Amino acid sequence: MSTTKYIFVTGGVTSSLGKGIISASLAKLLQARGYSVTIQKLDPYINIDPGTLNPYEHGECYVTEDGAETDLDLGHYERFINLPTTQANNVTTGRIYQTVINKERRGDYLGKTVQVIPHITDEIKRNIKLLGKKFNYDVVITEIGGTVGDIESLPYIEAVRQLKWELGPQNSLFVHLTLVPYLSASGELKTKPTQHSVKVMLENGIQPDVLVLRTEHPLNTEIRKKVALFCNVNMESVIQSIDVSTIYEVPLLMKEEKLDITVLQKLNLPVNEEPKLDKWKQFISRLKNPKKEITIGLVGKYVELQDSYKSIMESLIHAGSVNQCKVNIKSIHSEKINEDNIAETLKGIQGIIVAPGFGQRGVEGKIAAVKYVRENNIPFLGICLGMQCAVIEFARNVLGLKDADSSEMSRTTTNPVIDLMEEQKGVTEKGGTMRLGAYPCDIKKGSKVFEVYNQEHIQERHRHRYEFNNDYLDRFEKAGMKPVGHNPDTGLVEIMEIPEHRWFIGVQFHPEYKSTVVNPHPLFVNFVKEISKD
């Protein structure tokens, strides 16, 4: 029998309570106590993965080493526990149904009627257990997306209810996250929504073992007692999760509340030495005590929703802490800028990042921003489409190829300096068909980017269909924009830089997916360091 213990995290009352952060914080604490742990997200929507979703729907699409397009919570998991996740760490209803339907078509069900119970719930259970079995983790934390009571969450709730009994006592545990609202008119914290939410869990046959209460004000003993009494848990199992200025403080708050100890005791696991959190604490102390302050512009077309560029924002926080520098991020909508207003828009901004993206909308604004920072020696980091815009701008304004473009934006350009990758030419389906996941890249010694990484061979994650067109390589090199990173197998250009410029680097990959608290990404760290010299 497997010795892996399972923790199921559910949410009630409302969405956006921070289940992902609580799951990641608990994982961090268990890991800091020496346990091997991973976190999985079950998403109740029908898309096979979020790769086809507009960022306005669910925020950024995160990409794992093995090339899975996943929910952005997996980014939090990696940033907190500093371990790569995989395709198995994110499962959607769409994927569950797809597997079951494929099995039905193969005839695997031997003439049986295929139903939500047991076939869908069995497939959910199989996916949960898969992680523990495959990698032999001590603890698997499974976060169930959505809010209890939602129709679409029901099969998941039923599956974990069954799992609890199959796994036997002390092998699994339910953590339920709710909200304790504060009514300012009466100056009171209200527990009723929590009671109702636990009632919904009970109707589904689940008694939560631990309640994490999100609140804007501290919970006094009376409130904790009340929740314990009405929700059938002991006082130690009522955990306060108060609003904090940075998500990275949550593990320390959860430690104060002894969430890790309560969980370990309930799972009958030894509560050994104090968690090792020195690096984490140092990170927070540097973050909260900055000696400098800078402002970076983030140019993108989804800037209204902060979650669209989550990993970039978090990478800048990591880099800020390393440099003990407060990084203000000014979002700049790429559709609202042009050559006429760019100088005004970038006033007070010391460096820009041009964000990844797809399609024509907003591209000309991004190109105008690149032109301005290139000509004015302002630090620039271009990510994926951001790098492609830098290439197009250089071709148009330095090489004099006036109609230069990406063939993604213009099919008729006579100068497709960014072109569809060879392997993409026959691809018609949209889902999961980009160049995805980690690929190696060789860095040219003596380049700026070599100085940044201090490494010749790197691995970075990708998510794109278009690439630099190598027919133009010589012209770019001669004019001063240098390809300084290549895929060793295919020769694809992965990094471009302008050595004459103060700091001008474009990368075809996404460095933001690999920046973590204990391992901040060198590109962001160096970018912030350069700007903080101002």
Q: Which residues in this chain contact ligand GLN in the complex, by CB under 6 A?
A: 356-358, 384-385, 408, 463-466
Give the Cα separation of 318 and 325 in Å (integer).
Answer: 10
User: Do residues 511 and 460 touch, judged by C-beta distance below 8 A?
Assistant: yes
* Least distance in angstroms from the C-beta of 435 to ligand GLN: 8
**Count of all residues that appear for the chain in the document:** 534
Residues with Cβ within 8 Å of 308's Cβ and at least 6 positions away in sequence, in order, are: 55, 56, 59, 60, 300, 302
Cβ closest to ligand GLN, residue 371 vs residue 464: 464
Helix axes 259-266, 19-32, angle to 10 degrees: 70
Cβ closest to ligand GLN, residue 28 vs residue 463: 463
Is 512 catalytic? The answer is yes
Is 384 catalytic? The answer is yes
Residue by residue, DSSP assigns 122-171 as HHHHHHHHHHHHHH--SEEEEEEPS-TT-GGGHHHHHHHHHHHHHH-TTS
- H or E segment and range at residue 244: none
Largest Cα separation within the chain, whole Å, is 75
With H, G, I as helix, E, B as strand and everything else as coil, classify residue 351: strand
Which listed residue (158, 467, 512, 530) is catalytic?
A: 512
Which listed residue (384, 441, 464, 501) is catalytic?
A: 384
Cβ closest to ligand GLN, residue 214 vs residue 366: 366
* Least distance in angstroms from the C-beta of 408 to ligand GLN: 5
175 φ/ψ angles, rounded to the nearest 5 degrees? -105, 125
Cβ closest to ligand GLN, residue 143 vs residue 408: 408
Which listed residue (176, 462, 510, 521) is catalytic?
A: 510
Cβ closest to ligand GLN, residue 68 vs residue 91: 68
User: Do residues 31 and 279 touch, judged by C-beta distance below 8 A?
Assistant: no
Cβ closest to ligand GLN, residue 230 vs residue 358: 358
* Least distance in angstroms from the C-beta of 465 to ligand GLN: 4
Find the DSSP H helices in 413-496: 448-453, 473-479
Give the Cα separation of 469 and 467 in Å (integer).
Answer: 6
Residues with Cβ within 8 Å of 477's Cβ and at least 6 positions away in sequence, in order, are: 483
Which residues form the catalytic set?
A: 384, 510, 512
